[in-house]
Amino acid sequence: MNRLLLIIVFTVLPFHLSASQILRVGSTLWPGYEPLHYANEFGIYQKYNIRTIDYPSASEVLRAFKNRALEAAALTLDEVVSLRRLGIKMKIILVCDVSDGADVILSTPEINSVKQLKAKRVAVEPSAAGAYLLSRALQIHNVKLNEIEIVKMDVSTGVDAFTNNQADAFVTYEPMRTKLMNLGLVEIFTSKSIPNEIVDVLVVHESVYNNNKEQLNILIQGWFMAMQVFQNNPVRAYDYVSSRMQITPAKVQESYFGLKLVSLAENHKFLSGAEAVLFSSWTRVIQHMKNTRLINESIAADSIITGEFLPEK
């Protein structure tokens, strides 16, 4: 089956770029991005000069993309808004996943609600989706930002921070979520409470969109080839993710319970046409970021979102 798909890709998409044109795709270690890395197993990414690169935190992915050390990046929608506000021109070409409980706020057991975070130390990546999740949790539970103590911290340092008593609560995601819960922390808020607001997407610089369309076709088709394995042979997929995340396959499976990988048909709904679902998600994120003064102005999405590279349904 995989061999047949490879033949189709190579037959339909002849490739003419030179060997020096490398497409670097950056992401954090996150279950929703794993089909991107699993696509390497098919061999076509290497053949067509596509490199997937892991970063220890979302902040570093943002920095690398902003500084053009990456041609493409997997980001959350609010991170895309933040980059666009800085004048970075880009295109959203794929919706990877929708968080439905996978992004969380964890706390020590004596804290059992968001309201009890008042006067507590909360560790969060300030420039990443965690800041958005925390902001929405505080808004929903009528807690003001100045009523908690923010501890700026990369998600990857969560275990050390907890062990060294640097925070009382952590805004985090897999695989750090599982590692911290194994140490006794408990969930007090998840992205399930804010459906379709934390959406992970794949973005490319506008210049890459204009000049590297054949590579981008390969990139997206590789993603959906990997998605077939995740859907049809999840045991094989979980074993692969387990080796990368250093948690058990059973824990990997649990990590996908709060995460919806977006199918090809759903991607068309998110990205294609005047009624694209992502426009609504974008509007909600923009409005909240304005309300909380993370941004000052509205940013239109019609020139950013494209379903051009999606295979036909």
Q: Which domains does the chain have, with CATH numbers?
A: 2-98+197-291 (3.40.190.10), 104-193 (3.40.190.10)
Three-state SS for 202? strand
Structure letter (DSSP) for residue 50:
E
Matching residue, tokens 């670097």: 24
Q: In this predicted structure, what is the pLDDT of residue 291?
A: 77
CB 249 within 8 A of CB 278: no
Q: Which two tokens stand for residue 278?
A: 């992502």
Q: What's the sign of the alpha-carbon dihedral 248, 39, 42, 3? A: positive
| 139, containing H or E segment | helix 129-140
The pTM of this model reads 0.80
Q: Which two tokens stand for residue 56?
A: 């220890």
**Distance from C-alpha of 271 to C-alpha of 92, rounded to nearest angstrom:** 8
Q: In this predicted structure, what is the pLDDT of residue 308?
A: 95
Residues whose CB falls within 8 Å of the CB of residue 49, separated by 6 or more in sequence, listed in order = 17, 19, 21, 22, 23, 215
Among candidate residues 72, 89, 68, the one with its CA nearest the CA of residue 27: 72
Three-state SS for 126? coil
152 bridge partner residues: 124
Tell me how crowded residue 51 is: count the other CB atoms within 10 A of its CB. Answer: 15
| 46, containing H or E segment | helix 44-47
Q: In this predicted structure, what is the pLDDT of residue 128?
A: 67
Tell me how crowded residue 81 is: count the other CB atoms within 10 A of its CB. Answer: 20
Three-state SS for 112? coil
Tell me how crowded residue 193 is: count the other CB atoms within 10 A of its CB. Answer: 15
Residue type, 46: Q
Task: Tell me, rounded to whole angstroms, the distance of Cα 28 from its chain centroid.
Answer: 8
Q: In this predicted structure, what is the pLDDT of residue 284?
A: 86
Q: Which two tokens stand for residue 12?
A: 């339909």
Q: Would you report the helix, strand and coil content of the chain in percent, each value rounded to 5?
A: 50, 20, 35
Residues whose CB falls within 8 Å of the CB of residue 304, separated by 6 or more in sequence, listed in order = 80, 84, 90, 91, 92
Mean pLDDT for back-to-back runs of 10 residues, the chain (313 residues): 40 43 93 93 90 92 96 94 92 95 94 96 84 92 95 90 95 89 96 89 97 95 96 94 92 88 95 89 86 80 91 83
Tell me how crowded residue 205 is: count the other CB atoms within 10 A of its CB. Answer: 19
**Distance from C-alpha of 83 to C-alpha of 39, rounded to nearest angstrom:** 27
Q: How many residues in the chain?
A: 313
